[in-house]
Chain A
């Protein structure tokens, strides 16, 4: 079946969103658990309980990130090229943060020395907080516009600096990313970890939900009054052969709100963000963390989509040379590649969801200190 090129271009914007949200909801939760690990686990046994709630799942969850990266490479090659090379040290920072997780989970409990274990616990903390922060900061920078330009051979040149990425607004986006994922991780621990960890997690979930509401609101206000957006003034037809150098783009102070004004139903996303966070706070307090996990996932979806809708059709706007900006219609792969990838996604994503659900069902239980002691040499 042949799907129109312009429709496919849009579908891929949705699919990349699905993969990123899938990553945030699943592995983001593991990162939140990592962020809480040294604080909610007071003893070694307690920390092992925390680790083993996500032990069987974090690795599969991480593949959402890897696949999102692969999908961006395949569907938006020039975005992948420009963003990863432009944010060079930020990406490496996230990468080195991620290093701590595979080894941390597997190696930590293989040696009993408390210094060894404590060191890896902080490694898992870094592996949770640093990538979450960097990805949030990266999103913030998309909204601010990135200093890059393309030459006539479509080679990209980044003209900013590493520290330039940490604009206060971008930092705020990074903090939101960390706090919402920490909230999500806390809710998970409230469900899956035994007392006294569950109670501590409950308190953490409430606190981080509240902070997230405040930060999301602050970032929203800042975006409205302090951040200029970009808008496409002229461009070729939506189904044209993609060439990022054929459009005209200008900075515009209200551009990031244009989609909400033109399509008011999209306001459902920021509303979902706030309502989801608020509901998570209430559900955690009411000892209904199962529903809290659902509302937390909806909140994360709403928040990511809020940024996505603001930017649309931009993926990577350029602040220094707006005409070089990369948008959904001109930064994409060929019709054939998008088609092949679309069918791969249609076939495999439901399968992935099915077997992932099976593994969660099989491993579903409250992890206790007694169980960890029983399986001292088997558990993480």
Chain B
């Protein structure tokens, strides 16, 4: 049995570093395409303002990207440092998409990103646009492979346990790639990235409009982002993760937990819009339900049943008991009783081995577990419901909030009156954090909802960690918190500094602060007057 404090701390460290990493990823995924759009317009029309837009938003992209790379390194190291048994147990399958991500995507992205920033003077217009395009394409390809890996953790297809090597081994690479969970996750995640980047550009552009400065620049940026963002938010919501909840036991449990559905309801099930779920009582207190809605969302039909948590736990108990037999025969096979008979029994039960391993939290030998230990393992076989229930609702609310904003923004922008709708511009400005809230709560639902599994139905989190001591974790966790906090402060400082400066930070002499600086020498008191002059020149 591994030290439970050490496992808790390992989970905290992974969760914190992963969620921190994902503060930077979605902006990269989306902003890269926004840069491609802006630069394409520049190359096609030759209008300098679009080059300035590409350069300025590219500057903010760079500030964000630097921390994305930094914190991404941690993710790669951490599987080995902190989740060593996991790495051994599933590296044969999980490692492949990660390595291919490096070869196919990350190399491309990282090689061209340097040229994106520093190649303006040394590449032709078309070459530079190609570089920007490849960078955007590669960052999204990168997400594809990472989500193939993550999708496999949720729904481990195309692989089988081998008792000889004591690990999962790949049986069909195509199955791993076309895993339905991975595919919907990819679409959902990159579209969420497009929304994040759009909200970022929209919020900051709104601020320039509210301040009445660099209007031509701000309006054009707004126009690019609003179209992209509206398409993004529609994809996120319409092609939501939901369809992925149909496959695999873990996804079913997750769905029931999100909905706090303890008992299977006759189809179509009602959607609990609000309530207070309790794992202790196995019930949701004060639930307010909308009839039919859950059945429609989850199964896209009126006659398919959504299984409740209690029924799922009953299934789990059967599988845990079967897993005890699997564990017993695994010991025999790995000992000196590798006979065809033993192999046959093991093969009958091996799909439940993971469930048997849930007992490892309570006993070194799951095959000898007591009834009490089995009862506890069954309890453990579903995640804590309340945090999932709430974070899912926060994510959905954030999504619909942004959908509303995007529709309004798109409408007024098309009517060319967006600048006059100061209330809406203010909403855009203050909504900059909303996509991040949605992304973080979304990942929380996906990963916390996967518990107690590291790999769904295969490897419990409680045995996936390295054989470390709690003190090791306390030191490393403290170091991460310290470093990451300092880095975040620096990053936010630079973002605000350059966000405030706006395109003036390019020092082209064409924008607000530069003109204001030259104008104020001759003018008395700044005032908004000098702002208007440079605007004309840009149009």
Contacts and interface: CB of A to CB of B under 8 A. Distances in A.
A349 B497 CA distance: 40
A78 interface: yes
B122 A340 contact: no
A73 B114 contact: no
Contacts of B475: 89
Contacts of B162: 241, 334
B88 A336 contact: no
Interface string B44-69: 00000000000100000011011101
A239 interface: no
A103 B76 CA distance: 18
A348 B138 CA distance: 13
Interface of A: 52, 55-60, 62-63, 66-67, 69-71, 73-75, 77-78, 80-85, 88-89, 91-92, 95-96, 98-99, 102-103, 105-107, 110-111, 152-158, 241-243, 333-334, 336-337, 340-341, 344-345, 348-349, 352, 355-356, 359, 362-363, 365, 375-380
Nearest to B465: A85
10 contacts: A58-B114, A59-B113, A63-B107, A63-B110, A77-B88, A88-B472, A91-B80, A334-B169, A341-B100, A356-B107
Interface string B331-375: 000100000000000000000000000000000000000000000
Contacts of A69: 76-77, 80
Contacts of B281: none
Interface stretch (B91-99, B253-261, B433-441, B450-458): B91-99
Contacts of B173: 336, 340
B505 A84 contact: no
B490 interface: yes
A337 B92 contact: yes
B104 A363 contact: no
Nearest to A95: B77
A67 B507 contact: no
Chief secondary structure at chain A's binding surface: helix
Contacts of B466: 81, 85, 88
Interface of B: 55, 62-63, 65-67, 69-70, 73-74, 76-77, 79-82, 84-88, 90-96, 98-104, 106-108, 110-115, 117-123, 127, 162, 164-167, 169-171, 173, 334, 466-468, 472, 475-476, 479, 483, 487, 490-491, 494, 497-498, 505-507
Contact of A80 (B65, B87, B101, B123): B87
Contacts of A359: 111-112, 114-115
A327 to B, nearest CB: 15
Contacts of B171: 336
A55 B112 CA distance: 12
Contacts of A365: 122
Which 5 residue pairs of A and B lie closest in terms of their CB atoms, listed nearest first? A77-B91, A84-B80, A74-B95, A60-B111, A56-B114
B87 A102 contact: no
A158 B81 CA distance: 12
Contacts of A96: 479, 483
A126 B446 CA distance: 37
Given A336-B170, A359-B114, A378-B120, A77 B92 contact: yes
A345 B506 CA distance: 41
A334 B95 contact: no
B107 A56 contact: no
Contacts of A378: 55, 117-118, 120-121
A152 B143 CA distance: 36
Given A81-B80, A103-B66, A153 B166 contact: yes
A57 B479 contact: no
A67 B73 contact: no
A102 B66 contact: yes
Contacts of B102: 63, 66-67, 70-71
A78 B92 CA distance: 10
Contacts of A66: 73, 76, 102, 106
Contacts of A356: 107, 111
B507 A363 contact: no
Contacts of A156: 84, 88, 467
